[in-house]
Amino acid sequence: MTSAFYPGSFDPVTYGHLDIIRRGAEIFDELIVAVLDNKAKTPLFSVEERVRMLENVTRDFPNVKIDSFSGLLIDYAAQKNIHVAIRGLRAITDFEYELQMAQLNRLLSKGKLDTMFLTTTLEYAYLSSSSVKEIAMFGGDISQCVPEQVAKVVYDRYHIAR
């Protein structure tokens, strides 16, 4: 059985993430979406909330599991015995950071963890969790960016009635 994981912050999950999840789940027998519990950052949603949102929006993908991790990606990968991480590449601006992370993870894992990049579908290339939060915070329309149930939770968090 081939397995991979898709690590990220997912604060919150967007249609861009969902596109990568759907395509990753078609390539691998099992795809674990791994939400980073990063104590150094203050996300809008707790790790439990992000996991719950991901579980809701990936219900139709039977081979997708949602998990969370803290610490280094390579340690989580070793613990799960998974050797491939997938990441989405939106534009050249993502490339430098992603390349550095992929190279470091390969080095630190002594070649055990590789990163596979999926180029984001063009209609989602402009999307990011940060821009979704900024639009929502000012009462803008995020319906084209995130699934309906995610949009509701995001607006609720900012006390925006729409």
List residues near ligand PNS by CB under 6 A. 7-9, 36, 72-73, 101, 104-105
Residue 98 CB, shortest distance to ligand PNS, in Å, is 8
Residue 115 CB, shortest distance to ligand PNS, in Å, is 9
Question: Is the CA virtual torsion 93, 98, 56, 62 positive or negative?
Answer: positive
Residue nearest to ligand PNS (CB): 8
DSSP 8-state class, residue 61: -
Q: Is 50 a catalytic residue?
A: no
Catalytic residue among 9, 50, 87, 129: 129
- Choose between 36 and 151: whose C-beta lies nearer to ligand PNS: 36
Residue 161 CB, shortest distance to ligand PNS, in Å, is 29
Q: Which residues contact 20 (CB under 8 A, 6 or more apart)?
A: 6, 86, 87, 88, 118, 120
Helix (H, G, I), strand (E, B) or coil at 26: helix
Q: Which residues contact 101 (CB under 8 A, 6 or more apart)?
A: 87, 115
What residues are labeled active site?
17, 41, 90, 129
